[in-house]
Structure 1
Amino acid sequence: MPNYQAPLRDYQFILNELLTIYNRTDLQGFDEIDAELVDAILQGVADFTTEVMLPLNSSGDVEGCQIKDGQVITPKGFKEAYQQYIDNGWATLTSDPKYGGQGLPESVGIFATEMNTSTNMAFAMYPGLTHGAYASIHAHGSQQLKDKYLEKLVTGEWTGTMNLTESHAGTDLALLRTKAVPVGKDTYAISGEKIFISSGDHDLTDNIVHLVLARLPDAPEGVKGISLFVVPKYLINDDGSLGCLNGVEATALEHKMGIHGNSTCVMLFDGAIGELVGQPHQGLRAMFTMMNEARLGVGVQGVGVSEIAYQNALTYAKDRIQGRALSGVKAPDMAADPILVHGDIRRMLMAQKAFNQGARALMGQQALWLDESHRNSSDEAAAKASKLAALFTPIVKGFVTGQGFKACVDAQQVFGGHGYIHEWGMEQFVRDSRIAMIYEGTNGVQALDLVGRKLLSDRGEALSIWSEMVKPFIAEQVSNDKMKSYILPLIDASTDLEKATLFITTNAAKNPDIIGAASMAYMQIFGITSLAWMWARMAVVALEALENGCADRAFYENKLATAQFYMQYWAVQTRSLRKQIESTSQLICELTEADF
């Protein structure tokens, strides 16, 4: 079984020293937390995930979920582990205290999510989707709906799902056919079939709350005619007790590449009673509240699985002996040197490490922007944070999951043939992490969103806000000799991003197809530059700590070494990506069908 050590010291560094969240008294509720409290909570999550969730990861993958007598059964141990999860209060961390939550910032909760995902991605999806359903009802539901559902969702007594996809309608939700017919005061009969529904049915809780996109009889065509409904598996009586089974069932389980421990279902709604969330024909807006929560969670999956894969690859590289270093014998008392001496092994491991730590810091920053958008008393500051969070949503979902998957593949490669064998766990990490590039909007769609909506539709307003954060930072640090090896690569990457942006905005006006042709490479440039910004900021913190005579010198020296590697290995890749955009975008558009 793979091993896992929660990166608690890195969490402390990000929260306390990089983001300085304990100084953010301008944000509502932040004055109620301190480092001691947060450290204790994250240590508790680390203990639970390592001791309870991790041992079920491999067995859950092998056993998978099953349907017996119309009921979906989760793998052995999942039900007991889930009960421990909610008994310990881990489901309530970042939810509204009014409904039983602990009210912690997302910038703290995001790292609990990472540990959940690292140790058991399939299990973590059950509470993860529930939190998304909570967020959507909390933001858009009536007070009656909130009173009816939120407390049970917050505590984890009930779980939640999101039901968008139909067999003929995936990303293009304008094509969906599920119908909602009024049958009484504020109630509707929902009929239709949904596919790929994560956590669609299971035996972990007594009730499951489905959020379902459907069309009312008078709905206009396209996405403007979509409404959102809350449809419980069991109807709820006036006193809050569970009533009869609603007209919803899981008719099949999808046979998937990975995340076998999560029940991905085909769901049939046959006149199921549902209630409207928000306004008629405004369902997509309400659902995207859940989707954006989910996209941050998916981005964390990219980091979380990559982290445990890296940890085990590093351990293996230190233990596995094979061949001798090209520069001479390094372990003369052994029959061969550990494979860590070999250059390509070192390259793969450092690429993983530099990505993981940079992406983790970006996740913390993204979560803090979300906190600021909800908790800042200044409307202007909250609006700015909201725009930044929207800008970076396709980066944390699209770029991070893509590179996280590649990092898992590299970790598997370190193991050689053993990486292809189930018992080592690496092939499961590759299979599990692959879905993160697909669901909640494929990474190609994320790239289109970044360029089409975040860059062109708002005329680069959000990008300008971020640029006004990066440029003063560069100006402040460029004259610092100790920072030059971190700042100069950031300048180069930022310049490539600016040139790529100019190329796309100029040429897309003449040919809109350029957007699709260039968007993926552009997202990569943006993502690499974003992490370069985070690494340069972390280098400032590490240098200051060393200059001030910190006790934990090895930690900060390691940070600087990893930052140096990121700048020299990762950041330089923006140049070739920019050249790719400039040289091939038009060619891609001009190819005929016969050319394929």
Structure 2
Amino acid sequence: MSDYKAPLREIQYVMWELLGYEQHYQSLPGGDEASSDVVNAVLEEGAKFCENVLAPINAVGDQEGCKWNDGEVKTATGFKEAYQQYVEAGWPSMCHHVEHGGQGLPQSLGTVLSEMVGSANWSWGMYPGLSHGAMNTIEAHGTDEQKEHYLTKLVEGSWTGTMCLTEAHCGTDLGMLRTKAEPNADGSYNITGTKIFISAGEHDMAENIVHIVLARLPDAPAGTKGISLFIVPKFNVNADGSLGERNNLKCGSLEHKMGIHGNATCVMNFDGAKGFLIGPPNKGLNCMFTFMNTARLGTALQGLAHAEVGFQKSLEYARDRLQMRSLSGAKNPEGPADPIIVHPDVRRMLLTQKALAEGARMLIYFTAQQVDVVDRSEDEEARKAADELLGFLTPIAKAFITETGYEAANLGLQCFGGHGYIAEWGMEQNVRDCRIAMLYEGTTGIQALDLLGRKVLMTNGESLKRFTKIVHKFCQANEANEAQAELIAPLANINKEWGELTMHIGLMAMENPDEVGAASVDFLMYSGYAALAYFWALAAVDAQAKLDAGTSEKAFYEAKIATARFYFQRILPRTRSLVESMKSGAGNLMALDAEHFAF
């Protein structure tokens, strides 16, 4: 079975042709460095690394897992060596600011590289992936001294980072956390408590690990208003930046998991470990959102990665696997049977994977553009608008793309029939690795509440309007486009309905607050399907223009139009049942008393 192949043509299409990344980069301070020639060269080298170094050890990580011994963790064969190559090539520093040792390229380029890394080997990619969130948090909220001591080493890649939030008794409800931070005379703090589910919390791949930890000060108020944020390194750092003695923290055990076996998911015990406050006291959760938003967008990439891998492998299998004859006549008359790709139901599965993967890429890359604007633009109004759009799109990207990514991964396995259930093909690993994406960094339900409750209803729909205005202008500009009328009219209708649904739910919630929770997941999924409809319509219009102008890649652009049509006719109708479900209200969910669930 073939290994992962980076879909460079698809990536470059979305960047350069569909979303205008060249003009986007030119509009950013320092963006001149990100020319199409430079970026394409970076992508080609990244593809080689992912295909030749990371993909071959993906199954190794799954089979070997990580080994724990008295608080130390040894990663799977080849993982440490791959990380050394990653650091030597300068990949960790690519998208960080020059003043901290970075190369200064836009963050969106890092998103594209992360897609390839995650598709090739998600478990390995989590080790450097968590570091980016730690870097962003320290850069946004750390002191100059903290940046000098920790950020430069993280950017260099010789150290990695983690985020330590969850405790056994509190997952999403961080207001219940118990980890303590006792002040020391030298301005440091002793951090005591246990954190669970800490990805990359302990390993042998880097010299030091910088933990970003939530804890409570002695006089902290109860709940989320009493949480502070701390840097807690594995090894203490001397005044000259060199490594000191081992800090009082240890990996107590490794979690036994359904998937991502190659990544060390740790129980971390902090026993009076020395830590340093980041940001203001009792404002840790606000600061942590810098990390959490980075991680949520990174998790959206996981949905795309597993959809892409499942599609690649099942497509090749469907072309080669001979089973039965086509009902419309033999397509392989010289062979004993036809390849399964000729059968309509296999086409259904392949096209669903293709539409969801490519649509997810469009949405994520569009979102990454907003990250660039927030990070680099000198236009305050542009930054504000991009930040609000990013806030709206982040929960959709995280939850919708991981839900549909898991669907696509399952369809990939299904294309293989019984062989998909056998480990040697890699399809069952792809499904197992994908399943966590809907859970960590906030479950689908939590993202849905954030979207509908905080981002939409609490802004009276203003955050939604930031995106629907973009769609509305596109539909207006193409209302006379006869070639794509079958897409433009339905898109305009669903865009209008989106706002009407928001108003309907808001009115229901004024009578019963439970209506928000009852409608939230359906609203989020509706929002995801609506957003992808816009991007598929955008792609179809763009592809038609290329065909009309004459192109040597006729099949490529015709495939875009055909896939867009499939999406609108076969996948977008799912919104009809979501509308009915949302409008049915909370009553059918809350009718049973808790004891009536017993069996």
Task: Give the TM-score taking structure 1 as reference length.
Answer: 0.98
| In 2, Cα distance between equivalents of 1:18 and 1:462 | 24
| In 1, Cα distance between equivalents of 2:572 and 2:150 | 46
Cα distance per residue 1:206-233 (max 9 Å; x no partner): 1100000000001000001000000000
Give the length in aligned residue pairs: 596
SS at match of 1:168: coil
One-letter code aligned to 1:12: Q
| In 2, Cα distance between equivalents of 1:595 and 1:71 | 47
- How far does residue 73 in structure 1 lie from its aligned partner after superposition? 0.4
Q: 8 Å contact 1:497–1:574 — kept in the other structure?
A: no
- How far does residue 500 in structure 1 lie from its aligned partner after superposition? 2.1
Q: 8 Å contact 1:493–1:575 — kept in the other structure?
A: no
- How far does residue 149 in structure 1 lie from its aligned partner after superposition? 0.6
1:481 aligns with 2:482: yes
1:288 is matched with: 289
Among the aligned pairs, what percent are the same residue? 50
Alignment of 1:92-171 (within 5 A): 92-171=93-172
| In 2, Cα distance between equivalents of 1:500 and 1:526 | 11
2:275 is matched with: 274
1:179 aligns with 2:192: no
One-letter code aligned to 2:157: G
One-letter code aligned to 1:115: M
One-letter code aligned to 2:591: E
Cα distance per residue 1:123-167 (max 9 Å; x no partner): 000000001100000001111111111111011100000000000
- How far does residue 595 in structure 1 lie from its aligned partner after superposition? 4.5
2:540 is matched with: 539
SS at match of 1:54: helix
**More displaced stretch, 531-540 vs 484-493:** 484-493
Cα distance per residue 1:412-455 (max 9 Å; x no partner): 00001111111000000000010000000111100111111011
| In 2, Cα distance between equivalents of 1:463 and 1:240 | 46
| In 1, Cα distance between equivalents of 2:332 and 2:61 | 39
Q: 8 Å contact 2:62–2:262 — kept in the other structure?
A: yes
1:520 aligns with 2:521: yes
- How far does residue 467 in structure 1 lie from its aligned partner after superposition? 1.8
| In 1, Cα distance between equivalents of 2:33 and 2:329 | 57
1:11 is matched with: 11
| In 2, Cα distance between equivalents of 1:61 and 1:41 | 28
| In 2, Cα distance between equivalents of 1:45 and 1:258 | 25
- How far does residue 286 in structure 1 lie from its aligned partner after superposition? 1.0
**More displaced stretch, 224-233 vs 477-486:** 477-486
1:249 aligns with 2:250: yes
2:380 is matched with: 379
Alignment of 1:318-467 (within 5 A): 318-467=319-468
**More displaced stretch, 488-497 vs 323-332:** 488-497
1:206 is matched with: 207
Cα distance per residue 1:17-52 (max 9 Å; x no partner): 112121133322222211111111011110001000
SS at match of 2:335: coil
Q: 8 Å contact 2:87–2:157 — kept in the other structure?
A: yes
Q: 8 Å contact 1:529–1:571 — kept in the other structure?
A: yes
Q: 8 Å contact 1:489–1:568 — kept in the other structure?
A: no
One-letter code aligned to 1:518: A
| In 2, Cα distance between equivalents of 1:464 and 1:236 | 48
- How far does residue 191 in structure 1 lie from its aligned partner after superposition? 0.2
Q: 8 Å contact 2:472–2:495 — kept in the other structure?
A: no
- How far does residue 327 in structure 1 lie from its aligned partner after superposition? 1.6
| In 1, Cα distance between equivalents of 2:566 and 2:586 | 30
Q: 8 Å contact 1:198–1:263 — kept in the other structure?
A: yes
Q: 8 Å contact 1:300–1:363 — kept in the other structure?
A: yes
Cα distance per residue 1:508-546 (max 9 Å; x no partner): 111110111111111110000000111111122212212
One-letter code aligned to 2:106: P
Cα distance per residue 1:275-319 (max 9 Å; x no partner): 000110010011110000000000001001110111000111111
1:504 is matched with: 505
Instruction: Point out where structure 2 has 5 or more consecutive residues left out of the alignment.
Output: none
SS at match of 1:312: helix
One-letter code aligned to 2:290: T
SS at match of 1:550: coil
2:45 is matched with: 44
Task: Give the TM-score taking structure 2 as reference length.
Answer: 0.98
Q: 8 Å contact 1:22–1:30 — kept in the other structure?
A: no
| In 2, Cα distance between equivalents of 1:243 and 1:565 | 59
Q: 8 Å contact 1:489–1:572 — kept in the other structure?
A: no
One-letter code aligned to 2:538: R
Q: 8 Å contact 2:134–2:162 — kept in the other structure?
A: yes
One-letter code aligned to 2:102: G
- How far does residue 476 in structure 1 lie from its aligned partner after superposition? 1.0
- Runs of 4+ off more than 3 Å: none
| In 2, Cα distance between equivalents of 1:439 and 1:348 | 27
**More displaced stretch, 27-36 vs 387-396:** 27-36
| In 1, Cα distance between equivalents of 2:541 and 2:102 | 36
SS at match of 1:252: strand
| In 2, Cα distance between equivalents of 1:164 and 1:362 | 28
Instruction: Decide whether aligned partners of structure 1 residues 21 and 216 sit closer, same or farther in structure 2, where only a CA change above 3 A counts.
Output: same
Alignment of 1:29-108 (within 5 A): 29-108=30-109
